[in-house]
Structure 1
Amino acid sequence: MPDSTRSPYLGPHVVGQRVVVRRLVPGQTGPTGGPAFTDVLGDCVAWDPCVVVTAAGDWVEIPLDLIVSGKPVPPRPSVRMRATVAECEAQVAGLWSSVTTSRVGAWQVRSSPAVPRRRANSCLAVVDPRMPLAAAVEQVVAAYAARDQAALLHVETGSDLAGALRALGCTPAGGEADFLLAGTGRALRAARAHPALVSPELTERGSAASGSAYASVSHGGACDSIVEAQATVTGEWLGIHDLVVDAGHRRRGLARSALAALLEWGAEQGASHAWLHVETGNLAARALYGSLGFAEHHRMEYLTPPR
């Protein structure tokens, strides 16, 4: 009989993990006349006997002496995590109504002098431009020159395309930031887990299909906000941006309260995906977003084309 205790891959330590288990099927023979085996894939919820819950919700109990082999396997990415980088980053232009876009091949040229953000004034270059790479870069430079702006490329850090652009003479311009994703409902539940000290004021703009909201908290009736954040809904995507907390009022849960208000608003608009960019060095913000269930999808950086 198989003895699973000899395998370093299976044991009580796999409880709570996604596993694939090969087991002997008693009383049956395989295609070659020998013993019959079958594989079970799912979440291990108990050991001795091994109990695996499949994606269909079936509970499969496997006596240890029938286990032939097995091992933990990586969890399947969520549907939102299977979105492409291009699909995720295409949401950026919709954050600000003043952003205009044009095309250089398959690249998106974004421009908005009214918004002092590099994301709003850079060319999104995360796919093959569908033309010679050098020609695409030249056209991007010309497009921004026509707007009296310096050209900037927004690329996925570590991608083959970013490497090819560097080989053409494009140089790093800093600004590395991670694109984080979360389920809107899950993030909202996590944000509500801590009682809010204040109720932010929420101002809505635009339509339900593609609108925006601004959450803020003022101190003692003063006009100046001590915390503010914005969000935009485009279809099922809720983009959160420009979260700012006054330095003298940090670590009081104000940011979490503002995010809860925006997440609730986004959920009401039908957004199922919540996303944002956070700079790689902003450890406090990353800790906050991580506590709400946001996970890294990819990392972005800027490149300056050669002049």
Structure 2
Amino acid sequence: MTIDRDARGRRIVVRHTVDGRGPSGGPAMTDVVGRLIEITESEASIERRDGSLARVPLADVVTWKVVPDRPRRTRPASAFSADELSRITSRGWPAVVSEPLGEWELRASGGFTGRANSVAVHGDPGMELEDALAAVVAFYDEHGTRPRAQVVVGSDDERAFLDAGWGPGTGPRPGAIVQVADLAGEYRADSEARVAPTVDETWLRLYPRVENPAVAREVLEGPTTVGFVAIGEPAIAIGRVVVTGEWAGMAAVEVVPERRREGLGRRIVDTALAWAVDRGADKAYLQTMRDNTAALALYAPYGFAEHHEYRYLEPL
């Protein structure tokens, strides 16, 4: 069996052994299909359609082959559940510390953004709610921050937390709406925009939420496929775009106050979406405050529509 080490970035299918016995009595096997992100001497990292990462030991590989690029969009963006989309958005804004609690995700990042410093509540925590809440409190006590949960508004999870004595958070951002769009048509990168794989000082200076640059960099640069868009030197407009599987995540579009209403934000978004489509994205999401009318107006022409809303809850 030949492993193509030059297939990085290509779509592959890998069959490999897993624990247990198969139907015929031999080793149990499973297939992984996705984009080859990295290959080392011992394992291959493969990104699935939803952005989740499979790490396959090369010693367990039975067959390996490059396959044609996946077909475009088998499900529209609006067909994904809030739980599915919550997992996808979390992969696009990864916390410095991430630990599973069943299907929940405990996230801590030194206070940089609510998304990276709250438990993402989706699925089953694998234990009784009372025990799960105690585990959440213990995790955030360990990391020196107030316990916080990100819950979908109107969900059973939100009701369970409220019934357990949790309430609206005390932070400056109580939550956000999540909007989605199917990427169709042409997106043209702006000739004056640049897209870098890492964030530089001028980009950070224009992003208003950075208190600890080292922590911010770790979160912002965390995904495998991420681009930092900027126009001007020094930058007068910026944005961040991430691709996880078939999804693009738009964030951090900022324009210096004296250059607003000149179309710079639109040029940033056009460039970011063109970059994302080139890397396999056919759907996109964004998260913004409901009262951020400027952001909502910027994204509306691209077909973004509200998918769900989340808010942060804390123990009262």
TM over 0.5: yes
Normalized against structure 1, the TM-score is what?
0.65
Contact 1:228/1:242 (<8 A) preserved = yes
Describe the SS at the equivalent of 2:227: strand
Cα-to-partner distance string for 1:185-228 (whole Å, 9 max, x where unaligned): 34x55xx5xx96x7212213599x9311011112xx4x2x2211
* Counterpart residue number, 1:4: none
Among 79, 86, 89, which residue is 2:86 paired with? Answer: 89
* Counterpart residue number, 2:229: 215
**Aligned partners of 1:242, 1:142: CA distance in 2, in Å?**
31
Q: How far did 1:299 drift?
A: 0.5
Describe the SS at the equivalent of 1:121: coil
**Aligned partners of 1:107, 1:148: CA distance in 2, in Å?**
20
Contact 2:94/2:116 (<8 A) preserved = no
* Counterpart residue number, 1:176: 175
Normalized against structure 2, the TM-score is what?
0.63
Task: State the one-letter code of the partner of 1:184.
Answer: L
Contact 2:95/2:116 (<8 A) preserved = no
* Counterpart residue number, 1:119: 115
* Counterpart residue number, 2:291: 281
* Counterpart residue number, 1:165: 161
* Counterpart residue number, 1:244: 254
Q: How does 1:266-305 map to 2 (within 5 A)?
A: 266-305=276-315
Percent of aligned positions with the same letter in both sequences? Answer: 29
Q: How does 1:61-140 map to 2 (within 5 A)?
A: 79-96=76-93, 99-113=96-110, 116-140=112-136
Describe the SS at the equivalent of 2:281: coil
Between the two proteins, the alignment pairs up a number of residues equal to 218
| CA-based RMSD | 2.5
Q: How far did 1:184 drift?
A: 2.4
Contact 1:105/1:136 (<8 A) preserved = no
Task: Say if 2:216 is the partner of 1:202.
Answer: no
**Unmatched segments (≥5 aa) in structure 1:** 1-77
**Aligned partners of 2:96, 2:270: CA distance in 1, in Å?**
27
**Aligned partners of 1:291, 1:277: CA distance in 2, in Å?**
16
Task: State the one-letter code of the partner of 1:260.
Answer: D
Q: How far did 1:97 drift?
A: 5.5
Describe the SS at the equivalent of 1:119: coil
Describe the SS at the equivalent of 1:120: coil
**Aligned partners of 2:257, 2:180: CA distance in 1, in Å?**
26
Cα-to-partner distance string for 1:214-260 (whole Å, 9 max, x where unaligned): 11112xx4x2x221100111111111111111111111110110011
**Aligned partners of 1:282, 1:275: CA distance in 2, in Å?**
16
Answer with 1 or 2: which has the greater Rg: 1
Contact 2:245/2:281 (<8 A) preserved = yes
* Counterpart residue number, 2:8: none
Distance 1:97 1:88, change over 3 A: closer
Distance 1:97 1:155, change over 3 A: closer
Describe the SS at the equivalent of 1:90: helix
Task: State the one-letter code of the partner of 2:306.
Answer: E
* Counterpart residue number, 2:28: none
Contact 2:104/2:121 (<8 A) preserved = yes
Task: State the one-letter code of the partner of 1:199.
Answer: E
Contact 1:92/1:120 (<8 A) preserved = no
